[in-house]
């Protein structure tokens, strides 16, 4: 059963509420071409910068990619289309959410081998807003042919990739209905994605 849009919007707003500044202008500068080219998910810090770049440029596809499967499932599950609509409504009601794009990292905490917490702070005019973002590392694969992605999913990197006689051996499911020569690409990635937002209590700004 498809969840109603208002429920998805409420879930997203609840998740993002801790990041919204209470007053001020939501104006943020557009990212430079170099900042857009530098996007990626190789570390929690880069993933945060990618989310900030996507916010500044209104790149909804990229914003959605920054959210982990855990985040989506913990808020009832939502598609890109549902996220796009809910995001638009959130920004209409609380445009100050874009100030997250100005946040700087104050502290990094390793919670587990595949989980990191970044404590962040937004400074604007005479106000400061502090919050944390938890990042989880997702291991995934993607198989492509000339027309685009064929099959992909999360996986265990340790189970799928191993070293054998000086070579990397990768084991992933083979897509049904295609021949080996039709494949044009295989991607194995360990990417950091947003798992949760929360308020934080950081030391006051000196």
For residue range 100-159, list pLDDT tens digits in order.
888 899 999 999 999 999 999 887 777 787 888 999 999 999 999 999 999 998 899 889
Q: Is residue 159 part of a domain?
A: no
Q: Tens digits of per-residue pLDDT, 24-72? A: 445 678 888 899 889 999 999 999 999 999 989 999 999 999 999 999 8
Q: Is residue 67 part of a domain?
A: yes
Query: What are the structure tokens assigned to 116, written together?
Result: 């990191």
pLDDT of residue 168: 92
Q: Is residue 190 part of a domain?
A: no
Q: Is residue 15 part of a domain?
A: yes
Q: Is residue 128 part of a domain?
A: no
Provide the whole-model pTM: 0.81
The β-bridge relationship of strands 161-164 and 104-112 is unpaired
Q: Tens digits of per-residue pLDDT, 189-206? A: 999 999 988 765 545 544
Q: Is residue 36 part of a domain?
A: yes
Q: Is residue 73 part of a domain?
A: yes
Using an 8 Å Cβ cutoff, are 15 and 75 in contact? yes
pLDDT of residue 27: 61
Could you give the angle at the alpha carbon of 95 between the alpha carbons of 93 and 96, nearest 5°?
A: 125
The whole domain housing 73 covers: 5-106
H or E stretch including 107? strand 104-112
How many domains, in total, are found in the chain?
A: 1
Give the span between the Cα atoms of 186 and 142, in whole angstroms. 6
Q: Is residue 11 part of a domain?
A: yes
Using an 8 Å Cβ cutoff, are 96 and 16 in contact? no
The β-bridge relationship of strands 167-170 and 127-145 is unpaired
């Amino acid at each position: 059963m498809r969840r109603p849009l208002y429920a998805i919007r409420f879930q997203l707003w609840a998740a993002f509420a801790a990041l919204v500044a209470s007053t001020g202008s939501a104006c943020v500068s557009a990212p430079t071409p170099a900042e857009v080219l530098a996007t990626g998910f190789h570390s929690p810090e880069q993933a945060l910068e990618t989310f900030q770049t996507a916010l500044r440029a209104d790149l909804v596809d990229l914003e959605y990619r920054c959210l982990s499967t855990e985040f989506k499932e913990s808020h009832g599950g939502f598609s890109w289309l549902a996220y796009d609509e809910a995001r638009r409504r959130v920004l209409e009601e609380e445009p100050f959410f874009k100030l997250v794009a100005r946040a700087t990292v104050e502290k990094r905490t390793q919670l587990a081998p595949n989980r990191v917490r970044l404590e962040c702070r937004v400074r604007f005019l005479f106000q400061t807003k502090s919050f944390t973002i938890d990042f989880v590392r997702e291991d995934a694969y993607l198989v492509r042919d000339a027309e685009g992605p064929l099959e992909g999913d999360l996986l265990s990197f340790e189970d799928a990739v191993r070293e054998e006689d000086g070579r990397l051996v990768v084991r992933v499911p083979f897509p049904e209905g295609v021949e080996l020569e039709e494949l044009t690409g295989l991607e194995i990635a360990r990417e950091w994605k947003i798992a949760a937002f929360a308020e934080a209590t950081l030391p006051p700004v000196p």
